[in-house]
Structure 1
Amino acid sequence: MSSNAAFALTIVVSAADIDELNHVNNAVYLQYVQEAAMSHWQHVATKALQDEVVWMVRRHEIEYLRQAVLGDTLLIKTWVGQYTAATWDRHYEIYRASDNRLLVKAMSVWVPLDRQTHRIKRLEGALLDSFLG
């Protein structure tokens, strides 16, 4: 894990998350990691910054290691990694709380946009400080 502090979110697997194989649908894990990323952003950013910036995913990579099933409590850890002037890598690990088994490893590349113009914002100042401060 990165030296940047990890943020954790707990989710309980619901019936809507389950596919015909009776485990969490692979696409649902992407919803989980996006929810964790947004929760982390809301936790670290000021209201003014949240009103100014919206994040867009440029790329997802996901590795499925084990399955989660209905009723499992999942712990999703996320942290930011390397960044450029306009992109930020975000990492995720999803664990089953009952046995602390790692189920999923993922990484996304996020791009900050100006909420009004939808133009890319540079990663500088308060935007950087929100996660690194």
Structure 2
Amino acid sequence: MGHVNNASYLKWVQDAVLSHWRKFAPEEAVTAHLWVALKHEITYRKPTFLDDEVIATVLLEKVQGARAFYATVIRRGEEVLAEVKSSWCCIDAATLRPARLATSVVERFFRPAA
């Protein structure tokens, strides 16, 4: 039918969340931590087609222990195509074990825009 499949939505969410992380986290935190998706809950609003140009907007809702909870909205222009709630586990890159982020790192994501 020309629609994208679930894998496309998940790839967009992953790319958006990791881009958000790299934008706000200090370089040493980006190097020291990896992220693993634990859960994605997708609400489809309108079909998305193979040639569509989409934008994914990300909001970090909260950080709890080693987990981060994101809301992502995927749009084609002004049309909302899908809304995604996802949870992620922060992993220490050296030990590959779950890791809590330092408060100073988490605070960078919740500062008001200047």
Give the TM-score normalised by the residue count of structure 1: 0.77
Moved more, 116-125 or 85-94: 116-125
RMSD between aligned residues: 1.4
Equivalent position SS for 1:117 = coil
Separation in 2, partners of 1:126, 1:56: 21
Counterpart residue number, 2:25: 45
Moved more, 69-78 or 123-132: 123-132
Preserved contact between residue 87 and residue 123 of structure 1 (Cα < 8 Å): no
Mapped pair 1:93 → 2:73: yes
Equivalent position SS for 1:106 = strand
Question: What are the ranges of 5 or more consecutive residues in structure 1 without an aligned counterpart?
Answer: 1-20
Structure 1 residue 55, shift from structure 2 partner: 0.9
Q: Sequence identity of aligned pairs in percent?
A: 30
Gap change, CA 1:130 and 1:109, over 3 Å in 2: same
Give the TM-score normalised by the residue count of structure 2: 0.89
Tell me which stretches of 4 or more aligned residues in structure 1 moved more than 4 Å: none
Counterpart residue number, 1:61: 41
Separation in 1, partners of 2:37, 2:49: 27
Aligned residues between the structures? 111
Alignment partner for residue 71 of structure 1, among 37, 51, 55?
51
Separation in 2, partners of 1:120, 1:127: 16
Mapped pair 1:112 → 2:101: no
Mapped pair 1:121 → 2:99: yes
Mapped pair 1:83 → 2:63: yes
